[in-house]
Amino acid sequence: MSTDSGTPSYVEKGGFDRDTNYIEDRITDDPSSRYPVEPGRYRLVVARACPWANRAIIVRRLLGLEDAISMGVCGPTHDKRSWTFDLDPDGLDPVLKIPRLQDAFLARFPDYPRGITVPAMVEVSTGEVVTNDYPQMTLDFSTEWTRYHREGAPDLYPEALRGEIDEVAELIFHDVNNGVYKCGFAGSQSAYEKAYDALFARLDWLSDRLENQRFLVGDTITEADVRLFTTLARFDPVYHGHFKCNRSKLSEMPVLWAYARDLFQTPGFGDTTDFVHIKSHYYEVHTDINPTGIVPKGPDLSSWLSPHGREALGGRPFGDGTPPPPPKESETVPAEHWA
């Protein structure tokens, strides 16, 4: 199957094994490279439902890259072939003029054998996918596109802290970001319980780390916070019930709940989060887990806007920078989808 957002493959004894072989080409600030940084040349294709794509949306907005990198948004559901542009008039992306993301992958690789995943960077002139390597993509937004960052853009990947950011992000990926999928798509009781224990052990570790510091690394928001946030945002609406990650809800873990609300209420985080798309995707697409396709009505999400008190820990969310301006009207998530 062909989605990014957790379509399973299974390994021995029923464990979930994510295919992490992505197209490794990079867009770099080197004019002699095959894919040099160039405003307007590339289109970021995302789905707001997907946590990996949500990262790219957040980083693009925090850095102010909207004018340099356009964005196409797929709908929350898809078939086995590909994410589709069903939100757009006539079901076509208005820039790429294609109905499904698969077309961009096949334009470059006619026999592409892997999943058609978001986020993906597509070269507008050729209609060909450049990369879907989502972990590298956001780092390159921070380090390769600096000439096109907005005035006041934060440094999400400060050089002096990169080792620690990478270390924390790696732990979060294995036990939390991917850990929830290991629970949800486990094919055996033992594999599920192993993943469940690792997930909540890491969440407890994160709670301890964040109890007396506002952000994961240093006193500002970094790439590590972006990577954790997108899983936390989906925890109660999806992972707690749908993926059986049910020792505790996020709202029952005081430190992480306050931390998540702090980020959610920071421009660029909550206003890029679409809970309607999130719930629609997981509950309607994962029919092996939810064969009826019924989307639960709850939980009540209004408490995401309640006071969090994390300001008392100090820290400077944007460092020496400033919050991003409101999103473009064409990229605004309807308030009823997140507030």
**pLDDT by residue (tens digit) across 47-105?**
999 999 999 999 999 999 999 999 999 999 998 889 999 999 999 999 999 999 999 99
CA–CA separation, 16 and 28 (whole Å): 33
The CA–CA distances, whole Å, from 199 to 61, 184, 209, 216 equal 29, 12, 15, 17
CA–CA separation, 225 and 168 (whole Å): 10
Beta bridge partners of 47: 74
Q: Taking the domain 160-337, which CATH number applies?
A: 1.20.1050.10
Q: Which two tokens stand for residue 298?
A: 């709850």
Per-residue pLDDT tens digits of the chain, which is 339 residues long: 334 444 444 444 677 666 668 999 999 999 999 999 999 999 999 999 999 999 999 999 999 999 999 999 999 999 888 999 999 999 999 999 999 999 999 999 999 999 999 999 999 999 999 999 999 999 999 999 999 999 999 999 999 999 999 999 999 999 999 999 999 999 999 999 999 999 999 999 999 999 999 999 999 999 999 999 999 999 999 999 999 999 999 999 999 999 999 999 999 999 999 999 999 999 999 999 999 999 999 999 989 999 999 999 999 999 999 999 999 999 999 988 876
Residue with tokens 């008039």: 89
CA–CA separation, 325 and 110 (whole Å): 40
Whether residue 316 contacts residue 262, with contact meaning beta carbons closer than 8 Å, is answered with no
Whether residue 255 contacts residue 228, with contact meaning beta carbons closer than 8 Å, is answered with no
CA–CA separation, 336 and 339 (whole Å): 6
- Which residues are tagged catalytic? 50, 181
pLDDT at 1: 30
Q: Taking the domain 12-148, which CATH number applies?
A: 3.40.30.10
Q: How many residues does the chain have?
A: 339
pLDDT at 18: 67
Question: Closest Cα to residue 122, out of 33, 43, 68?
Answer: 43
What residues have CB less than 8 Å from 113, skipping those under 6 apart? none
Query: Strand runs (DSSP E) across 132-246, as ranges?
Result: none
Amino acid letter, 17: D
Rounded to 5 degrees, what angle do the CA atoms 175, 189, 280 make? 65
What residues have CB less than 8 Å from 146, skipping those under 6 apart? 29
Helix (H) or strand (E) holding 121, with range, is strand 120-123
pTM of the prediction?
A: 0.95
Domain spans of the chain, in order of start:
12-148, 160-337
